[in-house]
């Protein structure tokens, strides 16, 4: 007699990992329904949202802040990507490792934007990618690169200037709540915080 063996579904972790998606333009209200749009995204884990933005320095472009509250963007939706067993310190160590690759001066709207960062972070946290529609316009732009204006590839959607001032699109009162820290790794990169580390 054959025994039917049921495979147990492997647990993927206890801590939820969300992708928070923001609209970059009001046109997204219409484009979203056609599977298009221009989006900013951040990865939320342990009640902290990590995202990637541009600046002119070879230090990290990764910053953290309050979930669903990224200044300058309109929150659209939160998507559960998966779960992780990494604790807060391990997540910050992972972000420190990603900080070496995602420096502010390497940001590119088509080839290395906030959605690319979120996809990499989600793959490392949950082994699952972000939904394809979130970064579809960048993929289309990659194939239509010769048709796009030359300046678009170097366009910086969101700039944070760690060393010289406040972010474009941010209100001045947010500056008093910003602080920086050096990741625990040996890297000299800094993560830009939207709230102080306690």
* Residues annotated catalytic, as ranges: 40, 114
SS3 state at 68 = coil
- The whole-angstrom separation of Cα 67 and Cα 44 is 6
- The whole-angstrom separation of Cα 163 and Cα 169 is 17
Q: What is the number of other CB atoms lying within 10 angstroms of the CB of residue 28?
A: 18
- Judge whether 156 and 113 are in contact, CB under 8 Å: no
Place of tokens 């941010």: 170
- The whole-angstrom separation of Cα 32 and Cα 76 is 10
Question: Torsion-angle region of residue 127: left (phi > 0), alpha (psi -120 to 50) or beta?
Answer: left
Place of tokens 């959605």: 115
- The whole-angstrom separation of Cα 155 and Cα 114 is 13
Distance, first Cα to last Cα, the chain: 62
- The whole-angstrom separation of Cα 7 and Cα 151 is 53
Taken as a whole, the chain contains a residue count of 198
């Amino acid at each position: 007699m054959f025994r039917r063996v049921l495979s147990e579904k492997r647990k993927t972790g206890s801590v939820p990992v969300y992708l928070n998606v923001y609209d970059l333009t009001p046109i997204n209200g219409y484009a979203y329904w056609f599977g298009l749009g221009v989006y900013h995204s951040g990865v939320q884990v342990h009640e902290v949202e990590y995202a990637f933005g541009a600046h002119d320095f070879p230090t990290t472009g990764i910053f953290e802040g309050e979930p669903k509250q990224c200044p300058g963007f309109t929150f659209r939706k939160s998507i559960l990507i998966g779960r992780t067993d990494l604790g807060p310190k391990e997540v910050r160590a992972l972000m420190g490792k990603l900080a070496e690759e995602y420096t502010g001066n390497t940001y590119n709207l088509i080839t290395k934007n906030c959605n690319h960062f979120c996809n990499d972070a989600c793959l490392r946290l949950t082994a699952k990618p972000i939904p394809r529609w979130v970064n579809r316009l960048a993929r289309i732009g990659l194939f239509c690169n010769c048709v796009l204006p030359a300046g678009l590839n170097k366009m910086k959607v969101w700039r944070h200037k760690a060393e010289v001032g406040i972010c474009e699109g941010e209100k001045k009162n947010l500056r008093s709540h910003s602080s920086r820290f050096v990741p625990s790794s040996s890297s000299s990169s800094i993560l830009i915080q939207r709230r102080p580390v306690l």
